[in-house]
Amino acid sequence: MVNRSLIIANQHYDDPAYPELPGAARDAAELQAVLADPDIAGFEVQVLRDGTAAQCRKAIETFFRGATGDDLLLLHISCHGQKDLHNRLYLVGTDTEKAYVASTGIDSTFISDQIEGSRSNKTVLMLDCCYSGAFSRGLRTRSAAESVDVREPFSGRGRVVITASTALQFSHESEAMSRAAAEPSVFTSAVVLGLRSGAADLDGDGWISIDDLYGYVHETVRRRAPNQTPTRSVASVQGALYLARNVAARPQHVPGDIREALRSKLPWQRIGALHELENLLGSWRPEVRDAARADLTALVSDPDPAVAKLAKQLWFSRGLGELPVEDERNLSRQPSVDRLRTRHAVGIDFGTTNSAIAVFVDDDVRVVLSAIGDRTMPSVAAVTENGNWIVGEEARRRATINPANTFSRVKLALGTEKRFRAFGRTYTPVGVAATILAELRSAAERFLGSTVRDVVITIPAHFDLIQREATVEAAALAGLNVMRLLNEPTAAALAYGANTETDQTLMVFDLGGGTLDVSVLEIGEGVVEVRASGGDNRLGGVDWDDRLVDHAVARFRGQHGIDLSTDQTAMARLREAAERAKIELSSRMSTEIVLPTICVGPDGPLDMELHITRAEFEELTRDLIDRCRTLIQRAVTDAYLTTAQLQQIALVGGATRMPAIVGLVEEITGRPPRREVIPDGVVLGATIQAGILRGHFKDTLLLDVSAATLGVADVNGRIVPIIERNTTAPTKRSMNFTTVVDDQRHIQVQLFEGESRLASRNRKVGVLELGGLTPQPRGAADIEVTVEMDVNRLVHMKVTDLESARTVHTSITLQSARAHEAARVNPAHAIVERPTDESESS
């Protein structure tokens, strides 16, 4: 299959009645350059400049006659167009005489006949000529006829005909600049620009289809020359027709032969390409995986149901999130510039206590204000009796009056069996998280005035597989597609200006409302590698609040003999007051907790009044600081470093504002920490990452490490590690196993996540079964188990019987992990590590 193009550009004319078209020559040169560019379109391009009518006819004839069935042919003609009295369209060669156009011009039906007579089913005809487009029946024309449609000469099979203007408009001539400043005409320059910049990739799939290009050109021309309307006169090509690659979207990461197969009109070739894509999705290079994913997106909506079905299966088996929504794809085909506006880079920091969403606009990151004007929104959702949701600040306030129906700390519950209950209904953590994410999404949509779909979401570096899956699932329920799950510390490092120029070792200490993340990052040669990530997802600012609450409750009990801890309303008020006091103690040496009528005692209402100093508060929370110290030291050790080797310590998370934390970090590392981006650091970084994926920034390659070991249980219930903790993701590792009993025909491979060498102490995340093994003595079979962790650290497993080359594979999903956790294992189907060849011979 070849992409071939013929460009005809007639600028000079013998007949003075045809004025010069100064843009035509440059049109041809620019279009030739962009079409021939192998990184963009890779066409074989032939150009005819200032051809006579006979030369033009000859060139067109030869062009179409030589075509094979698979060729994609693009004929672009830039010249005067003229109609005769019967509304028949002629294109003008240099020797065409205006008074005898029918005998000296190039008849449009001649071109149509050449297309019809060629073998190609994929022809694009672009006419940058006056009168070349369709015009509606009934409109008055310059000709005598009232109801003629110039689409007629062009109609036929396997083609798309796009014209610069409608019949009633001029194209070249109407563009003042085209004549006066000798610039390329509006239409062709829009074609060139759309292809060259990639801006014509309206659906953002990385490819510029003819539909994309037409949509883009239509809008661009209408904006620059409001009286000129490009028209798609005919569109009879089966399936999508891709002209070029979006250079801005990604470098060329899918090999040329696969790309060709992807565009093949034969479904079986596209299915073949699908299998190749499967391999590319497992590449260790994120850019290759992204490219393969973009191509898979196109196949998911393939016109052939069998191809689309297989593509969908691959999509789901790879855990690529929710499928692109049909409506969205239809929307993307509409020639609308609005569509471009929906492709903002959006980042979400989904926090335990507070969340934030930010967008990349005007070359900067803007944190979207919540409905009530705050930079963050409490990650709290309340449900009303009739099942309506209230989210954010209002829900947080309701916690005081309505604690039982108000759900907070939802992020900590993700991936657990915890259920939220209210009014006899039960809600999953994923469902509640989705309502919070949906609220963030709405805030961003209000801000942008357009839909938001693709986002980067941050997660704690130590989130396990199930928690990561749960995050993706919650996002999908909120109508969001997760482009990347980004480690919070990596996001923070980006926000603190991690760039491709400066190499450094950096610690990110992120103490939020409910989680502590301590990570050591090494940035070198444009790679940000999380050398180690630790922390505690049960340690956060609320623990400091709780200490104040406990202290106040104990005092109150001492003073009044009343236990407030059983009074939900009193406790909710007290928690709020304790948090306020904690925050005040970050900038003051003492504060009060004052709560009038906290309860009613035997002698009437009782108030709470508690004075507390910073020193007392720090004493109450000393053990929490000690836990932070231990976790910092552990992370440094895990990274095989000493604290002295840390060049920078970056603080993020609202609770790092506490002076005791700043003091602790200084004490351990001997350096003052960086604090400039508290508390927006994480959402800022998420949005920068989204900006990188959207091509707004030069790419900074971010490599994250696995948070926990992934291994397979052997016959003795021991774990054989496959991907060790702190391995850089994405990664793919294989190990060989074998059978444990003679004539074993069936194996069960169980994947666990966790650090214990005993399977029973780790979390089972997936099981794969393979039957039909050839009966042979135990230890003879050679079973390869491949575990792959993608860039989002989601996991896929493959088991292959190397003898028969039969393979089963699965993606670990929330459901699969849950289903397998308690599943009973048949000991007769166990496996054991296969000795390597060296150990066999030794």
Which residues pair with residue 804 across a beta bridge?
A: none
CA dihedral sign of residues 481, 484, 485, 491: negative
Helix (H, G, I), strand (E, B) or coil at 599: strand
For 554, the token pair is: 């104990």
Among 657, 674, 725, 764, binds ligand AMP (CB under 6 A): 657
Only one of the segments 32-40, 257-265, 350-358, 691-699 lies at the binding site for ligand AMP (rule: CB under 6 A); that segment is 350-358
Query: Does 542 engage in binding with ligand AMP (CB under 6 A)?
Result: yes
Q: Which is nearer to ligand AMP, 651 or 817 (CB)?
A: 651
> How far apart are CB 504 and ligand AMP at their closest, in Å?
23
Which residues pair with residue 750 across a beta bridge?
A: 767
Query: Does 436 engage in binding with ligand AMP (CB under 6 A)?
Result: no
Query: Does 583 engage in binding with ligand AMP (CB under 6 A)?
Result: yes
Q: Which is nearer to ligand AMP, 652 or 759 (CB)?
A: 652
Q: Which is nearer to ligand AMP, 541 or 754 (CB)?
A: 541
Q: Which is nearer to ligand AMP, 657 or 798 (CB)?
A: 657
Q: Is 588 exposed, middle or buried (0-12, 13-18, 19+ CB in 10 A)?
A: exposed
Catalytic-residue membership of 698: no
For 77, the token pair is: 């003609």
CA dihedral sign of residues 278, 283, 285, 286: positive
The one catalytic residue among 83, 122, 265, 411: 411
Among 534, 653, 754, 766, binds ligand AMP (CB under 6 A): 653
The one catalytic residue among 50, 219, 488, 704: 488
Q: Which is nearer to ligand AMP, 65 or 588 (CB)?
A: 588
Q: Which is nearer to ligand AMP, 431 or 513 (CB)?
A: 513
Query: Does 158 engage in binding with ligand AMP (CB under 6 A)?
Result: no
Q: Is the omega angle on the peptide bond into residue 679 within 30 degrees of 0, that is, cis?
A: yes
Catalytic-residue membership of 510: yes
Catalytic-residue membership of 295: no
Do strands 747-753 and 763-770 pair parallel, antiparallel, or not at all (unpaired)? antiparallel
Ordered DSSP codes for 705-773: E-SS-EEEE-TTSBEEEEE-TTPEESEEEEEEEEESSTT---EEEEEEESS-SBGGGSEEEEEEEE--P
In angstroms, the Cα distances linking 476 to 291, 434, 452, 567 are 21, 8, 12, 38
For 270, the token pair is: 């596209």
Q: Which is nearer to ligand AMP, 581 or 639 (CB)?
A: 581
In angstroms, the Cα distances linking 606 to 551, 559, 576, 600 are 17, 11, 18, 6
Query: Does 582 engage in binding with ligand AMP (CB under 6 A)?
Result: yes
3-state helix, strand, coil in the chain (%, to 5): 35, 25, 35
Q: What is the C-alpha to C-alpha distance for residues 520 and 638, in angstroms, rounded to an integer?
A: 9
The footprint of ligand AMP on residues 493-512 (CB under 6 A) is 512
Query: Does 351 engage in binding with ligand AMP (CB under 6 A)?
Result: yes
Query: Does 591 engage in binding with ligand AMP (CB under 6 A)?
Result: no
For 278, the token pair is: 């499967």
The one catalytic residue among 349, 473, 579, 680: 349
Query: Does 370 engage in binding with ligand AMP (CB under 6 A)?
Result: no
Dihedral (C-alpha) 638, 642, 643, 649: value to the nearest 10 degrees? -60
Q: Which is nearer to ligand AMP, 277 or 658 (CB)?
A: 658
Among 376, 408, 533, 706, binds ligand AMP (CB under 6 A): 376
> Total number of residues binding ligand AMP (CB under 6 A)?
19
Do 377 and 439 form a contact (C-beta atoms < 8 A)?
yes
> How far apart are CB 666 and ligand AMP at their closest, in Å?
17
Among 586, 736, 776, 807, binds ligand AMP (CB under 6 A): 586
In angstroms, the Cα distances linking 279 to 285, 291, 514 are 12, 12, 39
Query: Does 81 engage in binding with ligand AMP (CB under 6 A)?
Result: no
Map tokens 């001029």 to a residue: 170
Phi–psi pair at 223, nearest 5 degrees? -75, -40
> How far apart are CB 163 and ligand AMP at their closest, in Å?
56
Query: Does 471 engage in binding with ligand AMP (CB under 6 A)?
Result: no
323 CB neighbour count, 10 Å cutoff: 17
Query: Does 579 engage in binding with ligand AMP (CB under 6 A)?
Result: yes
Query: Does 513 engage in binding with ligand AMP (CB under 6 A)?
Result: yes
Query: Does 673 engage in binding with ligand AMP (CB under 6 A)?
Result: no
Q: Which is nearer to ligand AMP, 198 or 654 (CB)?
A: 654
Which residues pair with residue 355 across a beta bridge?
A: 377
Query: Does 569 engage in binding with ligand AMP (CB under 6 A)?
Result: no
The one catalytic residue among 203, 439, 510, 529: 510
> How far apart are CB 354 and ligand AMP at their closest, in Å?
4
DSSP state of 324: P
Catalytic-residue membership of 349: yes
> How far apart are CB 511 and ligand AMP at their closest, in Å?
7
> Which has the closest alpha carbon to 268: 310, 205, 318, 210?
310
Amino acid at 557: R
Query: Does 198 engage in binding with ligand AMP (CB under 6 A)?
Result: no
Only one of the segments 49-57, 655-663, 744-752, 832-840 lies at the binding site for ligand AMP (rule: CB under 6 A); that segment is 655-663
Q: Which is nearer to ligand AMP, 81 or 351 (CB)?
A: 351
Only one of the segments 132-140, 348-356, 734-742, 794-802 lies at the binding site for ligand AMP (rule: CB under 6 A); that segment is 348-356
CA dihedral sign of residues 626, 630, 635, 639: positive
Amino acid at 326: E
Q: What is the C-alpha to C-alpha distance for residues 506 and 569, in angstroms, rounded to an integer?
A: 43
Query: Does 655 engage in binding with ligand AMP (CB under 6 A)?
Result: yes
Query: Does 353 engage in binding with ligand AMP (CB under 6 A)?
Result: yes
Please list the active-site residues. 349, 411, 488, 510
Q: Which residues bind ligand AMP (CB under 6 A)?
A: 351-354, 376, 512-513, 541-542, 579, 582-583, 586, 653-655, 657-658, 679
